[in-house]
Amino acid sequence: MLLILTTLILGLVILVWSADRFVIGASATASILGVSTLVVGILVVGIGTSAPEMLVSAMAAADGQSGLSVGNALGSNITNIALILGLTALYIPLRVQSKLITREIPLLLLVMLGGYFLLRDGELGFTDGCILLGGFLAVVLRQLWEAKHSRGDALEAEYAEEIPKGMSLPVALGWLLVGLILLMASARMLVWSAVELAQIFGVSDLVIGLTVVAIGTSLPELAASVAAAREGEHDIAIGNVIGSNLFNLLGVMALPGVIAPGAIDVAIVDRDYPLMLMLTAGFYLVAFGPRRAPEIRRYEGGLLLTVYLGYLAYLLVDTGAISF
């Protein structure tokens, strides 16, 4: 048990640090090669912060732990909206100025509805995985187009402050490689320890994916969002979450379908996916509703956090992980 917990904690620490190094290396490399600021911010950083989820899900699916893989994708999205935005808004109320972000949330809701349509039969098949990967490519192309036609957006100025400057190409590539190698190693540690914990506590790999693994792989987004909010870069704080959720649904959830297609736990369709949809729709109505400036206030952040804690408690009791 001690070995498992040590491996889990060490894996999480390395995962967070290596994800940060990977994003720094990737964004600096892209900037040095002349990629525009918005493309670096929206795509390179967005995909980079989702790299932990992608690697963990791919390894879990390859090991036959599809529940862990799917749970990681959905759990990360629930964690991003309810825990990360909740904590960040509780710390500093978030005001949105970017028009680009206001256009991304309806797209996120549309993608979620499409994902639910694919999963409602209780299967995540190879065809479903390919459709999701096709959607991932389409979103990438759309965001490239948006970046090209959104010059002067508030988000561009904020990303310009965040992209590393003064770094040489060899150093940037070195951090990119180090980050990737350590990400792969820490993802393997996390998958192994998560599966062992599930067996010890007698819960499904889905529950571990929705909780422990999802929180762990979402820590880079939490660190990035809180740091951005502290610097007054509220659009980045929210944009990180929206971009990560898009990539999780299309890129991360596609992996178990392509690598290990098969049946999924019915609880995903009946319990977890509807909650993710409701949280995202509620976030959109709260932040961008009529007759108010786009903002997430402290009490609204507290409400999101309360919903998340309630979900965790219900999940643990419902699955028998905790009994009274």
The total of structural domains in the chain comes to: 1
Task: Evaluate whether residue 53 is within a structural domain.
Answer: yes
Element holding 89 (H helix, E strand): helix 85-91
Measured in degrees and rounded to the nearest 5, phi and psi for residue 291 equal 65, 30
Q: Where are the beta strands (DSSP E) in the chain?
A: 94-95, 123-124, 262-263, 295-296
Task: Evaluate whether residue 203 is within a structural domain.
Answer: yes
Distances (CA, A) of 276 to 66, 190, 213: 19, 24, 17
Task: Evaluate whether residue 240 is within a structural domain.
Answer: yes
Q: What is the CATH number of the domain that holds 17?
A: 1.20.1420.30
Pair 176, 22: CB distance under 8 Å: yes
Task: Evaluate whether residue 324 is within a structural domain.
Answer: no
Task: Evaluate whether residue 144 is within a structural domain.
Answer: yes
Distance CA 144, CA 257 (A): 26
Looking at residue 310, its pLDDT comes to: 93
Task: Evaluate whether residue 323 is within a structural domain.
Answer: no
Task: Evaluate whether residue 77 is within a structural domain.
Answer: yes
Distance CA 105, CA 240 (A): 12
**What tokens were used for 173?**
């590539």
State the residue range of the domain holding 157.
2-318
Distance CA 66, CA 69 (A): 5
From the list 211, 190, 208, the residue with the least C-alpha distance to 83 is 211
Distance CA 283, CA 296 (A): 8
Helix, strand, coil % over all residues of the chain, rounded to 5:
80, 0, 15
Task: Evaluate whether residue 52 is within a structural domain.
Answer: yes
The pLDDT tens digits along the chain (324 residues) read 778 888 888 888 888 888 888 878 877 887 787 777 667 766 777 777 778 888 888 888 888 888 888 888 999 999 999 999 888 888 888 887 767 677 778 888 999 999 999 999 889 999 999 999 999 999 888 877 876 766 666 666 666 666 777 788 888 888 888 888 888 888 888 888 887 877 787 778 888 888 888 888 887 778 778 877 777 777 777 877 888 898 899 989 999 999 989 888 888 999 999 999 999 888 887 766 665 567 788 888 899 999 999 998 888 787 666 655
**What tokens were used for 8?**
């889990």
Looking at residue 184, its pLDDT comes to: 84
From the list 98, 205, 116, 115, the residue with the least C-alpha distance to 153 is 98
Residue recorded with tokens 């299967």: 123
Looking at residue 153, its pLDDT comes to: 63
